[in-house]
């Protein structure tokens, strides 16, 4: 009996082997997590918080200062990157000589299509 995918097309041997390798990797990962004592699918309780997160209590001034500092850091990174790109010359901007080859590349495979 041939296996088939959702659309009814028969699965190839390659697809079947790939599926089996994936399942094996997933199972070994689950086993490793279980051996390490990792919690998988555990019921947890939800507790109502009595106040907002500590970071949410920042004042408008502090939030504005943080946004300004983040913007300045980003601008410094962009400026630095632009300066580096200006100093480097891209390979496409150089003049090169074109030489006619006497024979095919040693590693190239022959093809009847050419």
pLDDT per residue of the chain (114 residues) written in tens, 0 to 9 = 455 555 556 678 889 999 999 999 999 888 887 777 766 677 888 988 877 766 666 678 888 999 999 999 999 999 998 888 888 766 666 777 888 887 777 666 666 555
Q: If DSSP codes are grouped into helix, strand and coil, which group holds residue 4? A: strand
DSSP 41: S
Q: If DSSP codes are grouped into helix, strand and coil, which group holds residue 101? A: coil
Q: Rounded to two decimals, what is the model's pTM? A: 0.31
CB proximity list for 54: less than 8 A, separation 6 or greater: none
């Amino acid at each position: 009996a041939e296996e088939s995918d959702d659309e009814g097309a028969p699965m190839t041997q390659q697809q079947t082997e790939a599926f089996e390798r994936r399942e094996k990797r997933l199972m070994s990962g689950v086993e490793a997590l279980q051996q390490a004592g990792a919690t998988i699918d555990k019921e947890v309780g939800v507790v109502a918080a009595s106040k907002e997160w500590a970071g949410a209590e920042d004042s408008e001034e502090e939030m504005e200062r943080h946004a300004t500092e983040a913007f300045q850091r980003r601008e410094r990174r962009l400026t630095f990157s632009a300066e580096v790109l200006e100093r480097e010359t891209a390979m496409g901007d150089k003049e090169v000589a074109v030489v006619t080859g006497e024979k095919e590349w040693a590693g190239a495979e022959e093809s009847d299509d050419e």
